[in-house]
């Protein structure tokens, strides 16, 4: 066929042209013999001579053309070689210089080989043609792919550059906005009275930005109080707090952190459970709940029994494991006071406010059902849930009682350790009870603070300082207000000099305040720990740990050298009544003086000085009155 040889020429032309891509270069290296055989044919054509190895006439069929090289004689092959040499005559290169290196291994072979070199040249047939066609098409397709890749790359570079320019412009805009001074709206400005929360939020953000860089960002002669006053009003409107509570919480934190605290109170805390080690281990419990489709993880490295539940296809409080008492639904913050208390086996422990039983059952688990746990709660209705949880969790060393915590140690005392999770305002659990935002007033905080002070003194008095392993008291609240935390602890340190603060043993948490606004507290209060929802992702909490040094309250010395006990704000518990008598203030020194006067009859003439000293002690302890020395005595002393 006539079309076949023409394609072969195109292939030879393509082979002689410079390579356009790496693939063609590799193909040329792998098949050097093809170039060596095709090059002589092109050389002959360039000199205008007719190549003897040209294809057969058009009358020949495909088979005779494809296998025509096999029927060639040795003479024709030799004639082709002679014409090749003659084509190179007149050049500077000598014929011998071409040698085997130029002609290739096939032409260097002996003419005695079967078929001769001509057979190798013309015998390539359809295989060589197809390979060269494939190379051409592959080159074209790869060239188009390269073009597409270059176009895409240019587009990506242009998009990236545009994005960088846009980001830079936005950054410059933000810098300009940050440098702009915010102007507080006037009292008659309509924006100030707007109820649109988006407008309020924007104003909050602007005021916070000004307060964080007040010296440079404030407007004219505006004071810091002007900005804070407007910010408190906006926060009350945006988050729904009353003004008193908002102000009380706002000053606990820096401005930016206060906003984070209020925002965290709008988000529910993670659901956590505590493994009951009396019945199972955490790994076994986790595996059982995972098999039920519960998605959970350990609550943190600080707890060996806590698990945090992310998702559950079944109610986490109604699983067979829950009903069997393998775990207790309990906030992570409630683990902390029990961990700080660290009860030891065979100890007697009092939980003064124990309902619904999460902390009491945790204490029992740490005791391994040894010793004794006195689970007390002042609310009789709440003791029902306390008893139910004690039975469900398999606690066998607990005694449930219903007393006012202030009646201890009149009811029973001499405990190794006492835990007081005192009733509080609940400012640390606003995410659970949003009603706290509006129903707490100044009177509530005063009442709660007074109750907490009385309870902590009763807790201290209920501990036996002579305990070989104990003598510890833990005070905790679910509040972040200073009035219920550092203020109460500082009061206990003043009223009970026989106790001191020790480390809670908790690895994390923020230190308690030693100075808050106009108040200054004992330096050891830094050993207490605070927990915040925006910092620790748990309910707001406060934990303090006392160590009782002596069962006897040290006395103070008055200015006149008379030893006086520190005046108490409540009547000490008497063994006769077992209840606290309220109303009349007295002191141990005054009672001792009265008892001594009743039991011993003095001779007024002989013991006038002793009687006067006793009366002076009584008056000073009760009413703070100091008797002046008699003139006669003073005149004698002057003489």
Active site members: 478
Sheet containing strand 306-311, edge to edge, reads 295-298, 306-311, 271-275, 327-329
Looking at the DSSP assignment, which residues form a beta bridge with residue 297? Answer: 308
Confirm if 130 and 40 have CB atoms less than 8 A apart.
Answer: no
Matching residue, tokens 């090749």? 84
CA dihedral 484, 528, 360, 576 (to 10 degrees): -60
Confirm if 330 and 355 have CB atoms less than 8 A apart.
Answer: no
Question: For residue 188, which phi and psi values (nearest 5 degrees)?
Answer: -95, 5
Confirm if 268 and 248 have CB atoms less than 8 A apart.
Answer: no
Residue ranges of the annotated binding site for S-adenosyl-L-methionine are: 353-359, 377, 404, 421
Alpha helices in 47-94 (DSSP H): 62-66, 74-87
Matching residue, tokens 């080690």? 277
Q: Is the peptide bond before 226 cis (omega within 30 degrees of 0)?
A: no
Residue ranges of the annotated binding site are: 353-359, 377, 404, 421
Confirm if 310 and 255 have CB atoms less than 8 A apart.
Answer: no
Q: What span, in angstroms and rounded, lies between the C-alpha atoms of 158 and 168?
A: 15
Phi-psi bin for 303: left (phi > 0), alpha (psi -120 to 50), beta? beta
For residue 337, what is the enclosing H or E element? helix 335-341
Q: If we measure between CA atoms, which residue out of 199, 224, 221 comes closest to residue 211?
A: 224
Q: What span, in angstroms and rounded, lies between the C-alpha atoms of 620 and 614?
A: 10
């Amino acid at each position: 066929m006539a079309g076949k040889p023409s394609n072969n020429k195109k292939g030879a032309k393509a082979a002689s042209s410079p390579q356009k891509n790496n693939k063609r270069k590799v193909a040329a290296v792998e098949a050097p013999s093809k170039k060596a055989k095709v090059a002589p044919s092109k050389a002959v054509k360039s000199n205008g001579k007719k190549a003897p190895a040209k294809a057969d006439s058009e009358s020949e069929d495909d088979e005779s053309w494809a296998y025509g090289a096999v029927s060639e004689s040795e003479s024709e092959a030799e004639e082709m070689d002679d014409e090749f040499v003659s084509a190179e005559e007149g050049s500077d290169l000598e014929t011998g210089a071409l040698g085997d290196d130029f002609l290739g291994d096939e032409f260097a072979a002996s003419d005695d080989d079967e078929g001769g070199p001509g057979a190798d040249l013309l015998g390539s047939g359809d295989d060589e043609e197809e390979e060269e066609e494939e190379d051409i098409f592959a080159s074209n397709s790869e060239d188009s792919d390269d073009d597409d890749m270059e176009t895409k790359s240019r587009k990506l570079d242009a998009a990236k550059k545009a994005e960088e320019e846009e980001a830079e412009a936005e950054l410059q805009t933000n810098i300009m906005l940050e440098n702009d001074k915010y102007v507080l709206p006037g009292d008659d400005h309509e924006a100030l009275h707007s109820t649109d929360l988006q407008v309020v939020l924007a104003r909050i953000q602007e005021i916070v930005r000004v307060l964080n860089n007040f010296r440079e960002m404030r407007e004219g002669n505006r004071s810091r109080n002007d900005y804070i006053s407007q910010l408190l009003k906006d926060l009350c409107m945006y988050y729904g707090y009353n003004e008193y509570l908002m102000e009380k919480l706002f000053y606990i934190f820096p401005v930016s952190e206060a906003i984070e605290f209020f925002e965290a109170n709008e988000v529910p805390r993670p659901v956590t459970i505590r493994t009951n080690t009396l019945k199972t281990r955490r790994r076994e419990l986790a595996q059982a709940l995972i098999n039920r489709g519960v998605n959970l993880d350990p609550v943190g490295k600080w707890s060996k029994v806590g698990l945090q539940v992310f998702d559950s296809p079944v109610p986490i409080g109604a699983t067979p494991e829950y009903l069997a008492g393998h775990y207790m639904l309990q906030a992570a913050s409630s683990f902390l006071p029990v961990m700080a208390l660290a009860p030891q086996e065979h100890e007697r422990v009092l939980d003064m406010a124990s309902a619904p039983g999460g902390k009491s059952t945790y204490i029992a688990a740490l005791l391994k059902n040894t010793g004794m746990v006195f689970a007390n709660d002042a609310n009789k209705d709440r003791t029902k849930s306390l008893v139910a949880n004690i039975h469900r969790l398999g606690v066998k060393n607990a005694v449930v009682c219903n007393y006012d915590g202030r009646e201890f140690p009149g009811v029973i005392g001499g405990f190794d350790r006492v835990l007081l999770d005192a009733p509080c305002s609940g400012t640390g659990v606003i995410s659970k009870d949003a009603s706290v935002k509006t129903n707490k007033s100044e009177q509530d905080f005063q009442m709660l603070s007074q109750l907490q002070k009385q309870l902590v003194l009763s807790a201290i008095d209920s501990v036996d300082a002579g305990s070989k392993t104990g003598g510890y008291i833990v005070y905790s609240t679910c509040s972040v207000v200073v009035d219920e935390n550092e203020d109460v602890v500082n009061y206990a340190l003043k009223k009970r000099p026989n106790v001191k603060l020790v480390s809670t043993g908790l690895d994390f948490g923020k230190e308690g305040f030693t100075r808050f606004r106009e108040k200054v507290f004992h330096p050891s209060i830094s050993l207490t720990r605070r927990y915040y929802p925006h910092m620790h992702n748990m309910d707001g909490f406060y934990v303090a740990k006392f160590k009782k040094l002596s069962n006897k309250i040290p006395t103070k010395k008055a200015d006149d050298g008379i030893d006086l006990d520190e005046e108490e704000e409540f009547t000490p518990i008497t063994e006769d009544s077992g209840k606290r008598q309220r109303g009349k203030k007295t002191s141990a020194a005054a009672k001792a003086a009265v008892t001594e006067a009743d039991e011993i009859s003095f001779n007024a003439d002989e013991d006038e000085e002793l009687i006067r000293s006793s009366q002076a002690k009584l008056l000073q302890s009760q009413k703070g009155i100091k008797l002046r020395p008699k003139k006669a005595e003073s005149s004698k002393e002057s003489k």
